[in-house]
Amino acid sequence: MTRKLFGTDGVRGTANTHPMTAEMALRIGAAVGRYFRQDKSVAHRVVIGKDTRLSGYMFENALTAGLTSTGMNVLLLGPVPTPAVGLLTPSMRADLGVMISASHNPAVDNGIKFFGPDGFKLSDEAEMEIEALIEKGVEPVQARNIGRAKRIDDGRFRYIERVKSTFPFGMRLDGIKVVVDCANGAAYRAAPEVLWELGAEVIPVGVSPDGSNINLDCGSTKPRIAAETVVSHGADLGICLDGDADRVILIDETGTVADGDQIMALLAARWAEEGRLKGNALVATVMSNLGLERYLQGRGVSLERTAVGDRYVVERMRAGGFNLGGEQSGHIVMTDYATTGDGLMAGLQFLAEMVRTGHRASDLVHSFEKVPQLLKNVRYEAGQVPLELAPVKAAIAEAEARLDGLGRLLIRKSGTEPLIRVMAECEDETILHEAVDHVVAAVQESV
């Protein structure tokens, strides 16, 4: 059985369009409630968080209706980062955690992510079982067994304290000026508060959500305004989060942007020196730059690659006993501290290195030289299968032959948007562009 609703990170799409409708959210809530409410003799609970999208209100209510109809008690956290749900699910002894967010996607999109009682995202197998329940339909409980819903007002503060506990005890950020771009998203209050409480001078960007401006010309996918703010204010560091704050991009004092690969390189090398990098390996996806792999090899650290998606990174980390992993896009997973990517925690770990070494951000954030990498996206319509068409397959084969021995080519469907992602790496940038453009043209002609 293949998954029809779930992508690489839960269910996602345009609000009020299948599958992201209120009706489907209610059905999903009922199905996941039935799945986790196995022992009907004890009380069961679920925590629900959301980001700042306007449609979050609709999905919060629909999920609550579905969950309570199966006897689940619902604890509503309001706007909190995705990692807060991962942390608070086991802390509050919940059977299930739900995050309503489409992460870095535009405001018109939304999504539903699930965490198990251990705070980790659900497996493919669990998602397939839930899909089967959705298709079959769920019988509601008797009226006397309907669940209750309760608003939890201090969820953000619980998360703030947990995040601060990951920063070295006794260390402060006095004298450090930090620009933090919250993407008008879930961390718009928590991130500035954490940095200020640790002593930093905070210059907030993207902290005025209105339901429609999440990720709009701000955040980790569009760091230009944050970079300009770092330079104009003479800040020491810029921290750019995405809409649900599970990923981060850093900006040094010169306004230069550094992605997740550079952050992971610094942390992996530092942790290896300290003897606390479990398995002496970093887990990253096939998208991470070849330069990162070479840098780690030079320091005796292995790079374990997975499919794209932070949940696959975490699954490999748990299976291999590793404690550091992430994605080039900025998901940094540190299982010593959290169950999923946490952009704010990763930013704090970088700030700790600045304080410990006394070095500027620009001295720390560019650990290796990247192998030239090019990524282009081609949008397609629902129902189309461009990668299965003969002309596209032929173009891919030709590009692979062109890169043979010189670089690598990666073609994949996005798990969160209707996009074909065409990525290549090659020291020869002329060949690099020719290979990518050849495949992109073939895909474009087929859609």
Q: Which residues are catalytic?
A: 103
Distances 251 to 201, 241, 258, 377, 431 between C-alpha atoms, Å = 16, 11, 6, 25, 30
Strand order in the sheet with 257-258: 201-205, 177-181, 237-241, 248-251, 257-258
Nearest to 26 by CA among 53, 64, 52: 64
Distances 416 to 8, 309, 382, 419, 425 between C-alpha atoms, Å = 7, 10, 13, 8, 23
Number of DSSP helices (H) and strands (E) in the chain, helices first? 14, 18
| Helices marked H in 92-218 | 124-136, 155-164, 190-197
Provide the β-strand partners of residue 282.
Answer: 303
Strand order in the sheet with 373-379: 373-379, 419-426, 407-413
Residue type, 27: R
Provide the β-strand partners of residue 241.
Answer: 248
Provide the β-strand partners of residue 13.
Answer: 110
Query: Which residues 6+ apart lie within 8 Å of 213 measured at CB?
Result: 107, 184
Provide the β-strand partners of residue 153.
Answer: none
If you compute the radius of gyration of the chain from its CA atoms, what whole number of angstroms results? Answer: 22
Cα 254 from chain centroid?
A: 26
Euclidean distance between the first and the last CA atom of the chain, given in angstroms as a whole number? 27
| Helices marked H in 120-259 | 124-136, 155-164, 190-197, 224-233
Helix, strand, coil proportions of the chain in percent (round to 5)?
40, 20, 40
Contact 206, 222 (CB under 8 A): no
Q: Compute the distance between CA of residue 258 and CA of residue 414 in angstroms, rounded to an integer.
A: 23
* Burial track 168-201 (b if 16+ CB lie within 10 A, e otherwise): eeeeebeebbbbbbbbbbbbbbbbbbbbeebebb
